[in-house]
């Protein structure tokens, strides 16, 4: 693999692969905007850690790096903006996956996908009752399937085109990896870096079941 492009974080100044960092740019009206897909023009980069966001805000790094006078965003506002962008992107990835029949939803379908090991990533609604998703949570932990709690029932439902859902399973490893990389950009509270909400499991690392393997749509 060619070496990945590197950028340094404007908070902690650590150099990391660009793909692991959150890009910000100056939007019209002198405000800081967040890009999760990169973008044109001058950008600045942040680790997905709250501590880095705080450092950058405290030192006024945004104006300095983006070379324009900017209204310095508050830490919470910036954190919310990144979360909102990430949620929106996950919803759109799930929508695409649904059209390609790469997701299942509802506790019954998700539970059987987990038991069959066809689930590569399980998303549990943050507002789901523990009674409805307790078994699924335990099963994913036991089978080493990545499990994430971030979106609300309403958002999960809208993403897969229907009524609110307590859980969704992604059954394609490439879609699962794409969703996880977006979720990993949400600044974590931890000082140690990385996100405590995402288990460090690469959904593409296990051998894909034959029926999902080599699908050109997601290569």
Nearer to Zn ion, 24 or 171 (CB): 24
- Contact pick of 8, 12, 63, 75 for Zn ion (by CB under 5 A): 12
Instruction: Specify the stretch interacting with Zn ion by CB under 5 A; choose among 9-17, 30-38, 101-109, 177-185.
Output: 9-17
Segment near Zn ion (CB under 5 A); pick from 5-13, 37-45, 70-78, 177-185: 5-13
Q: 8 or 181: whose CB is closer to Zn ion?
A: 8
Does 188 interact with Zn ion (rule: CB under 5 A)? no
Candidate residues 26, 52, 82, 175; the one interacting with Zn ion per rule CB under 5 A: 52
11: contact with Zn ion by CB under 5 A: yes
Piece in contact with Zn ion (CB under 5 A), picked from 41-49, 84-92, 106-114, 196-204: 41-49
Nearest to 169 by CA among 104, 93, 73: 104
Asked if 160 and 101 count as a contact pair (C-beta separation under 8 A), the reply is no
Q: Decide: is 75 part of the binding site for Zn ion (CB under 5 A).
A: no
Would you say 48 or 157 has its CB closer to Zn ion? Answer: 48
- Total chain residues near Zn ion (CB under 5 A): 5
> At closest approach, how far in Å is the CB of 14 from Zn ion?
5
Closer residue to Zn ion (CB): 14 or 129: 14
Q: Which stretch binds Zn ion (CB under 5 A): 1-9, 64-72, 93-101, 111-119?
A: 1-9
The full 3-state SS of the chain, as one line of letters, equals CCCCCEEEECCCCCEEEHHHCEEEEEECCCEEEEECCCCCCCEEEECCEHHHHHHHHHCCHHHHHHCCCCCCCCHHHHHHHHHHHHHHHHHHHHHHHHHCCCEEECHHHHHHHHHCCCCCEEEECCCCCHHHHHHHHHHHHHHCCEEEECCCHHHHHHHCCCCCCCEEEECCHHHHHHHHHHHCCCCECCCCCCCCCCCCCCCCCCCCCHHHCCCHHHC
Decide if residue 9 touches Zn ion (CB under 5 A): yes
Q: Closest separation between CB of residue 6 and Zn ion, Å?
A: 13
Q: Considering the rule CB under 5 A, would residue 44 count as an interface residue with Zn ion?
A: no
Closest CA to 105 of 175, 172, 165, 174: 165
Residues that bind Zn ion (CB under 5 A): 9, 11-12, 47, 52
């Amino acid at each position: 693999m060619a070496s990945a492009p590197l950028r340094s974080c404007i908070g902690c100044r650590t150099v990391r692969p660009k793909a692991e960092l959150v890009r910000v740019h100056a939007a019209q009206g002198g405000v800081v905007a967040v890009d999760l897909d990169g973008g044109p023009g001058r950008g600045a980069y942040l680790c997905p850690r709250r501590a880095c966001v705080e450092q950058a805000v405290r030192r006024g790094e945004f104006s300095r790096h983006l070379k324009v006078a900017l209204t310095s965003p508050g830490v919470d506002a910036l954190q919310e903006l990144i979360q909102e962008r990430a949620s929106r992107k996950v919803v759109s990835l799930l929508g695409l996956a649904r059209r390609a029949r790469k997701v299942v939803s509802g506790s019954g379908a998700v539970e059987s996908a987990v038991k069959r090991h066809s689930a590569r990533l399980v998303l549990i609604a943050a507002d789901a009752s523990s009674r409805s998703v307790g078994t699924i949570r335990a099963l994913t932990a036991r089978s080493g399937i990545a499990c994430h709690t971030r979106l609300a029932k309403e958002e999960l439902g809208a993403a897969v085109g229907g009524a609110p859902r307590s859980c969704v399973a992604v059954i394609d490893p490439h879609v699962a990896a794409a969703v996880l990389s977006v979720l990993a950009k949400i600044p974590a509270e931890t000082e140690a870096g990385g996100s405590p909400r995402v288990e460090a499991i690469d959904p593409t690392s296990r051998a894909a079941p034959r029926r999902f393997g080599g699908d050109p749509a997601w290569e």
